[in-house]
Structure 1
């Protein structure tokens, strides 16, 4: 029963014929919105992309260039900026294109890669924000253990865990274990 629902849902999203013999994969979620609204969404997405790329790059350069501000919090903030930079430079361009043209790219691996990056990066960003919050909490409420917990190798493990956990949770979806 579930397989039938998945296949019928897939068939509805598959190729919808437009015009004389032109076959394009349509996104029914986008096609229900009027073109002017999609153009506004694309414009806002492009502005966010440009501001995000520039802002995150400036933050990364500033935190890495000046040794006075290099501390534990800066390591987490730089990691968050890198994740947001990847999101702004690799995910938002495809979202903008999807708003402008409701047909999806004809390269099949992009249909898997872009959501993988979108959801993986969202998880990484949330975990980094959580790590920053825990860092600040331990520094304020449990200052006596702060130096023991936040050594360079532990910080590297915390950052690595955030990335591996977030993207690792996406692997079953990427491999098609839960459908296409």
Structure 2
């Protein structure tokens, strides 16, 4: 079920998109501007599991991680106003996506794979990029994931510019 509610109505705002799109950084700034709490779903997952996402992937696999991710996001989209940054694969999972679309406003931070690759090269904490060329991996991920991200009612381009320009674009799109 698709919910086209681009105007903010006090629901949680959930940022979705590929790794490196700026969900956490932009999310923090957006929350500040709206005077709302900010929650990073990945940090919540790590806290609940008592281990890093990389360790969860290594020890239990992606399916186990995605199940925990769905439960955590379900808890976060509780109807109270906040900004939530998700991991890149969260919105791809049907049950998680439905939770977000039903109980929150989803905002897709869309960016070119070359921009994303420049951003993610700085850290080696991304399980899906280990041992791979980041740009090549992100081009492949974008081909698979972008059709799912496109289900978000709001799409904002994440470009190489100050983060506040992305925050402003989100606020304009939401008419907040």
TM-score class, shorter:
under 0.3
Report the TM-score when normalising by structure 1.
Answer: 0.25
Considering fraction of residues, name the structure with more strand. 2
Bigger RCO (CA 8 Å, 6+ sep): 2
**Structure number with bigger Rg:** 1
Report the TM-score when normalising by structure 2.
Answer: 0.25
